[in-house]
Amino acid sequence: MGQATRTSKLLLDLGKREEGGANPGKRASLEATADVLNQARAFYLDFFLAHAQKLTERVSYYSEKHLEMRTRALSPNELLTWAESHTVATRDHPHPWEGWNFSEGFPGMPFAYRRAAIKDAIGKARSYLSNLARWKKSGKKAGEPGVPGAGNHPTLYEGTVELDLESRGKEHARFVRLKVYTGTSWQWCNYPIKHSRYFQQRLTDPAWEKQSPKLVVRKNEASLHFCQTQEVKAQKIVESKQDPDLVTVAVDLNVKMLAVITVRQRGTIRETIFVRDQGLDQARYRHLKCIAKKQRQSGKPVKGEQSNQQLWRHVRRMNEHAAHGVARRIANVCAKYPGCVLVFERLRKIRRAAGSKSRRMNRKQANQLRGKINQDAREKAYALGVVTVETNPHGTSQYCSRCGARGERFSNLNGTPITLKWGKLFRCPVCHYEAQADFNASSNVHHSFYGEYHWQPRLKRSG
Ligand SMILES: [Zn+2]
């Protein structure tokens, strides 16, 4: 049993006023809200670090499962109640502790926001304390964990957000109601949203459980991030490997041919899908060449400042878009074969690329893209109950996938085959098998998974 997660983003419309965007005052309120919540979190972080013994306190309880008395740490909810009773003035507890009066410092803050801040602070403080204890135990001099910062995207619990996606006579919802801090008081405000029926479908999908959204305020945009989770039942690899009818989906990731997906069952390849990059590599190279040129012309970079922000953002977005697309195609193949196993090569350590600056940057981006595809595909497949394995990548592109002998790569230039290290085609000198090199590599990933041919487990040397 495991849990798959995904995030659905709802953009708030902060565009031009005459085009339906939120007015500048409302935008300032969003920033003020994030600010004041950061302060509240800092307050409780200090509070918990000042009372660290409470976080590690053990209480005894009677375990129904084990039928005996046991001890456990305080739960976050108990800690929350304890913290509130000592920092917030109420009728039952009119006098909070000296110097820790939250109600005075943050008058009128809705309790839902306060609780979100406390829960967040508990998590941060606990992880810091356990890291610190581990570091002290290890006896190392370097690497002392630092005190955590209080910054985070605030979570909007119920009572601070109202989002009604069901249409009431109208086409679809156009506003979300948020409780925000205007600088002096807490008020409900309507924010226009960029909403589509795809988002609605995604959010109201009954298979996924919706959690409280997070408010993410960035320089040019603000959005609500809904985390969704799903319980997934998946078989262990060791168990599914026993099944003779097991379907394996192997993926070979490359630069120009982004992915070659092969499906194998009972030793034969049943399906192959080639995913090309549609000119992404070249387009990215052109942009990076432009960046390199600008950097060269503008001389020494200013420390702490990023240059060519728009171009970099564009490159990053192209990469992310491509990664999601490829990962979706991989997941769709997995969906066709229920109970299959997704197999990747372990990503190799990349040697520093040679060539001009733009070439090196492009190689770096291409390698990051491979990592992203791997990660995205893994997550999307897991939501379908498909587990991913990584196999030994040694020699997948050098050995013959039919007989296992060592072969060579070549390219056809003007009709004559020329042996090249990075040739597009593969040839086996033993069985005279010829194939597209990436397809050969992809088939070898299956061999690597089953430990066949070159990837046979080595016999232990005796004596
Ligand atoms: Zn061969």
CATH of the domain at 266: 3.30.420
| Ligand 1 centroid – CA 447 distance (Å) | 13
Residue 241 lies in a domain: no
The values of phi and psi at residue 158, to 5°, are -60, 140
Residue 375 lies in a domain: yes
Q: What is the structure's pLDDT at 237?
A: 83
| Ligand 1 centroid – CA 101 distance (Å) | 77
Residue 147 lies in a domain: no
| Ligand 1 centroid – CA 457 distance (Å) | 20
Q: What is the structure's pLDDT at 296?
A: 87
Q: Verify that 104 and 72 share a domain, yes or no.
A: yes
| Ligand 1 centroid – CA 427 distance (Å) | 8
Q: Which of 241, 426, 253, 271 is nearest to 346 (CA)?
A: 253
Q: Verify that 226 and 188 share a domain, yes or no.
A: yes
- Lookup result for tokens 């009431």: 168
| Ligand 1 centroid – CA 398 distance (Å) | 11
- Residue 372 token pair: 């992203």
Q: Verify that 176 and 212 share a domain, yes or no.
A: yes
Residue 196 lies in a domain: yes
Where does 266-380 show beta strands of DSSP type E? 268-275, 341-345
Q: Which domain does 101 fall in, by range?
A: 38-138
| Ligand 1 centroid – CA 406 distance (Å) | 8
Q: Verify that 83 and 43 share a domain, yes or no.
A: yes
Q: Verify that 254 and 378 share a domain, yes or no.
A: yes
Residue 7 lies in a domain: yes
Q: What is the structure's pLDDT at 460?
A: 67
| Ligand 1 centroid – CA 439 distance (Å) | 14
| Ligand 1 centroid – CA 252 distance (Å) | 19
Degrees to nearest 5, angle at CA 150 with 185 and 209: 80
Residue 143 lies in a domain: no
Which residues have C-beta within 8 Å of that of residue 380, sequence separation ≥ 6?
Answer: 327, 328, 330, 331
Q: Verify that 348 and 382 share a domain, yes or no.
A: yes
Q: What is the structure's pLDDT at 172?
A: 64
Q: Verify that 69 and 186 share a domain, yes or no.
A: no
- Lookup result for tokens 């491509």: 322
| Ligand 1 centroid – CA 428 distance (Å) | 5
SS3 255: coil
Q: Verify that 269 and 199 share a domain, yes or no.
A: no
Residue 289 lies in a domain: yes
Q: Which of 338, 323, 450 is nearest to 387 (CA)?
A: 338
Residue that is last in its domain, among 96, 111, 138: 138
| Ligand 1 centroid – CA 337 distance (Å) | 29
| Ligand 1 centroid – CA 150 distance (Å) | 60
Domains identified in the chain, total number: 4
Residue 21 lies in a domain: no
Q: Verify that 96 and 179 share a domain, yes or no.
A: no
SS3 104: helix
Q: What is the structure's pLDDT at 169?
A: 54
pLDDT tens for the 463 residues of the chain, in order? 688 888 888 888 887 777 777 778 888 888 888 989 999 999 999 888 888 888 888 888 888 888 888 888 888 888 888 888 888 887 777 777 877 888 888 888 888 888 888 999 998 988 898 889 899 888 888 888 888 888 888 888 888 888 877 655 556 667 888 888 888 888 888 888 888 888 888 888 888 888 889 999 888 788 899 999 988 888 888 888 888 888 999 999 988 889 999 999 988 889 999 999 889 999 999 999 999 998 888 887 778 777 888 899 999 999 999 999 999 999 999 999 988 899 998 887 777 777 888 888 888 999 999 999 999 999 999 998 899 999 888 888 889 988 888 888 888 888 888 888 888 899 888 998 989 999 999 999 999 888 888 888 776 666 5
Residue that is last in its domain, among 138, 168, 191: 138
Q: Verify that 130 and 222 share a domain, yes or no.
A: no
Cα–Cα dist 178/156, whole Å: 9
